[in-house]
Amino acid sequence: MKKANYVAKAAIIAAIYVVLTEISTLLGLSSGVIQIRFSEAMTVLPFFTPAAIPGLFVGCIISNLLAGGALLDIVFGSVATLLGALGTYAFRRYSMYLAPLFPIASNTLIIPWVLKLVYGFEGTVLFFTATVFAGEVISCACLGIPLMILLGKRKGLLDIIR
């Protein structure tokens, strides 16, 4: 029963991640110089539950597949999300304010190379690093920290994901 509960929570997180990514795409926020994805706010969830780690990873894979991303983007983008989730979970004992740090760092280090090498976008890796960093700060920190605060105040919501 415990394993089924874990899988169900991961699946719910993955589904919500996909829906939020699609909403960002429909609003035109997922593309452009600075990409803002509402789903990236969820990268703080490993602070609360380990089920968020596979949930975010699978949600990112599905989102990238639905977006028609290149294979290397699907792989490396999803790995960036996985590494960020693992870092958030590993450092959950220290401070909730550190939770967005790991997804921001992993995406900022990996995604600029994907944009340059996989998609061949015009611009320097340094430029892409700055724009990815800005988008991740907005998505993970500016949206993620209020999400954590909301979840911390609403114990009933946390019972669903813990």
For the cut 60, the answer to whether the pLDDT of residue 146 exceeds it is yes
pLDDT value at residue 139: 94
- pTM score, two decimals? 0.90
Distances (CA, A) of 71 to 55, 61, 77, 143, 151: 20, 10, 10, 28, 34
For the cut 80, the answer to whether the pLDDT of residue 140 exceeds it is yes
d(CA 32, CA 13): 26
Q: Residues 45-60: pLDDT tens digits? A: 999 999 999 999 999 9
- φ, ψ dihedrals at 131, nearest 5°: -75, -40
Distances (CA, A) of 124 to 31, 112, 115, 135, 136: 17, 9, 10, 17, 18
**CATH number, domain 2-161:** 1.10.1760
pLDDT value at residue 151: 85
For the cut 80, the answer to whether the pLDDT of residue 32 exceeds it is no
Q: What are the residue ranges spanned by the domains of the chain?
A: 2-161
